Structure 1
């Protein structure tokens, strides 16, 4: 397939925004803690709805309710506008204003997407234009003159579906290992945040109810570097989203000195972790060498160990059949 790019006016597709879409977008927006966050969620919701309507008209199956953009915790914690396409993957639907020359692409959606659709949303929220798409994006500002047509989007999704049918059990591409030693130099991978950057954002305050020892464990770090990442373990939205916190520190200054590593797992919107959440550390061969499992009374669980620069390990967070793995190199 040969793709062509033009000015977006040559192939933009005008679409109405349904009253139901505006009502849902307003409902999602009212649940946000700040006007800025509310406007972000409102426009993201409308973009997803418009793309969902278009794909259904074109015969492409969608599962909007299973998307992160329809998950109240994920809407609160990240700038997401994804749409689940069963058998294909997550399609990101990014809104822009009229006359925009670029489309913002937040780093948290640079991965695990099968494409990026840009939707121009009118100021009155009555109509939208499907401007086009790109199959990949790893820039914070995507020039709109790089977009391919909506017709090419359908071809792209068809090819992805055919590839999936031809290879029903593909081996997943290993994710790049997170380099912990670089954290000491201020280099942190996308998706990882500092504790202060999270708790100082007003939109996160309602989602946390840390009390007593849990609050102390979450916030108190005298030395070292601490970063966190939000993980979703499936199930009901908000009930099985957790925070993985990684703290590293070393008392020596030589490059080969051991590094102490602490892992913590906290709930997001519930006082306790769901019972049965597993926090597992695997060595480079995939063998378990540390693990912990939450009880109904646990506010958090944690593991501690040490390693030397160059060693590799993985952290697995599991609940039932759902497993999320983060790979690290010290």
Structure 2
């Protein structure tokens, strides 16, 4: 009886791994605390770089250095290999080695992704094979036979260009303990940053006391925001604090802090609140010696708004619903 073996590598697209890719991958690997983590970061970086090369060949614009995978802190604390596709969202680029029949899909990558590409990296680190695409995952190990051709990725991107999907952060869910993994407590994020001294959180979180009624037990969460080469890969910390108020109102306070060896925010960085239509509602801009900027406002249940952090021509947006 003849045995038939499904070979997904025959369906893939092989591309060379450039010297620039190897250089960055080795640089990131050298920053890791042990060989296992170094190898993980090296392969993740190579997978991202090759997918980025492929998308550039297809004339699809990307932002290589914006994703969590390019953030030294996130490299240390998670296993992500995300690539930002301009105006579309984050594509996960998962590496595998030769002869592996399943691909690891860490739970932290299951949300906020437009899809997943599996990249088979040659042992010589000279060539990679883009094996295929899948739009969503819900388990930690993906069998390779479930992959679809890369044409499905191009179709997916084309569809999202005409009907972009925005991930809404539901603030009301925070009040009952349902918080997306991307948003951590200020304390846990500070501990994470301080575990890697070059990226420590500088200064204390400002919580000014008001002479008026102060709502009890505010809920506060934080997220790292990376504006890429605009600030030399030093992530900023965005803190969102919410407090319920009478008559179905919610008080919202936003703060933007520096991390790393920066005492002050980059001069000119802006923290902006926009309404659902995209009109500017509030805005603060850092001066030459601001160690944080903040905005505070009130909203109603089900009201949507956008928070933008921008510097020069780079802007990161987070979409919220109260």
What is the TM-score with the length of structure 1 in the denominator? 0.71
**How do residues 276-315 of structure 1 correspond to structure 2 at under 5 angstroms?**
276-315=268-307
**How do residues 1-330 of structure 1 correspond to structure 2 at under 5 angstroms?**
6=6, 8=8, 11=11, 24-33=24-33, 35-49=35-49, 51=51, 55=54, 60=58, 66-67=64-65, 68=67, 69=69, 72=72, 75-76=75-76, 79-82=79-82, 91-97=91-97, 98-108=99-109, 110-111=111-112, 113=114, 115-121=115-121, 130=129, 132-148=131-147, 152-153=149-150, 155-156=151-152, 163=158, 173=164, 175-201=166-192, 205-211=196-202, 214-217=203-206, 223-236=217-230, 238-239=232-233, 241-250=235-244, 257-269=248-260, 270-330=262-322
Q: CA deviation at 1:297?
A: 0.4
Other structure's SS at 1:304 match: strand
Q: CA deviation at 1:105?
A: 4.4
Q: CA deviation at 1:239?
A: 4.9
| 8 Å CA contact 1:224, 1:249 repeated in 2 | yes
Q: CA RMSD in A?
A: 4.3
What is the TM-score with the length of structure 2 in the denominator? 0.73
Unaligned runs of 5+ in 1: 1-5
Q: How many residues align?
A: 307
| 8 Å CA contact 1:63, 1:86 repeated in 2 | yes
Q: CA deviation at 1:44?
A: 0.8
Q: CA deviation at 1:298?
A: 0.8
CA distance in 2, matches of 1:140, 1:224: 34
Q: CA deviation at 1:245?
A: 0.8
| 8 Å CA contact 2:133, 2:153 repeated in 1 | no
CA distance in 1, matches of 2:296, 2:91: 37
CA distance in 1, matches of 2:285, 2:219: 25
Unaligned runs of 5+ in 2: 1-5, 208-215
Deviations 1:152-211 (A, max 9, x none): 31x3466578x59xx9xx566351432111101111135222223323336863343444
| 8 Å CA contact 1:92, 1:109 repeated in 2 | no
CA distance in 1, matches of 2:201, 2:71: 22
Other structure's SS at 1:236 match: helix
CA distance in 1, matches of 2:84, 2:253: 34
CA distance in 2, matches of 1:258, 1:91: 36
Runs of 4+ in 1 over 6 A off after TM superposition: 12-20, 62-65, 84-89
